[in-house]
Amino acid sequence: MTTSLPFRVGYLTLSMIGVGSSAFHATMRREEQMLDEVPMLFAVSAIMYLSLTARAVKRVISIEDNGVSLRKFGLIFFLVTFCVVITALMFMYPENPVIFLLSFGVALTLTVISGVMRYYYGGRSGRPVSRAQYAGELALMIWGIGGIAWCIEPHICHKVGPLQLHAWWHMASGVATHMTLQFYWYLELDFIVFASKKIHDKSMRIESETTCLLPFGVVVEE
């Protein structure tokens, strides 16, 4: 299913963030820091694509997304160009952190706004999805906990050094990104259930499974 490609990109970039972040914290060099930041740009762009293409369809023709419409192609072109241009600017001006912070901040803000719309109005099936909403709420809560740890760590590091609050931020952001991707995956699974009933008169349901302590969604026939 071609709709799985953005999810693969999302999880691939999430893995790359882990590698880049480890390299940066091991060396504290600017080159390795960019190995952390560049995948973050691509990850938020992949999530933005998922959010902007999850709008309700007017007519269900097929479960499979067997092609790239002009609108989707334009969105892909724009997001890839955005990431490539910002990456080039980061390499051209490595000592200027504003380039990454501003571009990532704007992209993240737009993604959050679009995600809130998906939370209330659902994805391609055009209806709210409780499992997706739960995943979104977990993601937001974990982001919040990690963000608090990150913000207070510089001020109380000398008192709570053994707790490694900055490390907790990294773990929280990784889990929260996974739950964000699962939020959109549940929306896509709901469309599969919805379309299967419409087209093939099949009864299916969404279930949650767990691997490596992290939940993920699957569709099973009833």
Q: Any idea where the domains of the chain sit in the sequence?
A: 4-221
Q: Residue 8 and residue 160: Cα distance in Å, rounded? A: 37
The mean pLDDT of 33-43, rounded to a whole number, is 93
Of the pLDDT bands very low, low, confident and very high (cuts 50, 70, 90), residue 2 is very low
Which tens digit of pLDDT belongs to each residue from 119-157? 999 988 888 999 999 999 999 999 999 989 888 877 777
Beta bridge partners of 207: 218
Residue 166: per-residue pLDDT: 81
Does the structure show a pLDDT above 50 at 107? yes
The mean pLDDT of 181-197, rounded to a whole number, is 87
The mean pLDDT of 196-203, rounded to a whole number, is 67
**In the chain, what percentage of residues exceed pLDDT 90?**
53
User: What are the CB-based long-range contacts (under 8 Å, 24+) for 110-119?
Assistant: 110/48, 111/44, 111/47, 111/48, 111/51, 114/48, 114/51, 114/52, 115/47, 115/51, 115/180, 115/183, 117/51, 118/51, 118/54, 118/183, 118/184, 118/187, 119/183
Q: Residue 24 and residue 18: Cα distance in Å, rounded? A: 10
Q: Which CATH architecture has domain 4-221?
A: Up-down Bundle (1.20)
Does the structure show a pLDDT above 50 at 175? yes
Which tens digit of pLDDT belongs to each residue from 203-219? 767 777 766 567 777 76
Side-chain half-sphere of 155: how many Cα atoms within 13 Å?
5
From start to end of the chain, where are the E strands? 204-211, 214-221
Side-chain half-sphere of 119: how many Cα atoms within 13 Å?
16
Residue 183: per-residue pLDDT: 95
Q: Residue 78 and residue 8: Cα distance in Å, rounded? A: 19
Look up the pTM and report it: 0.87
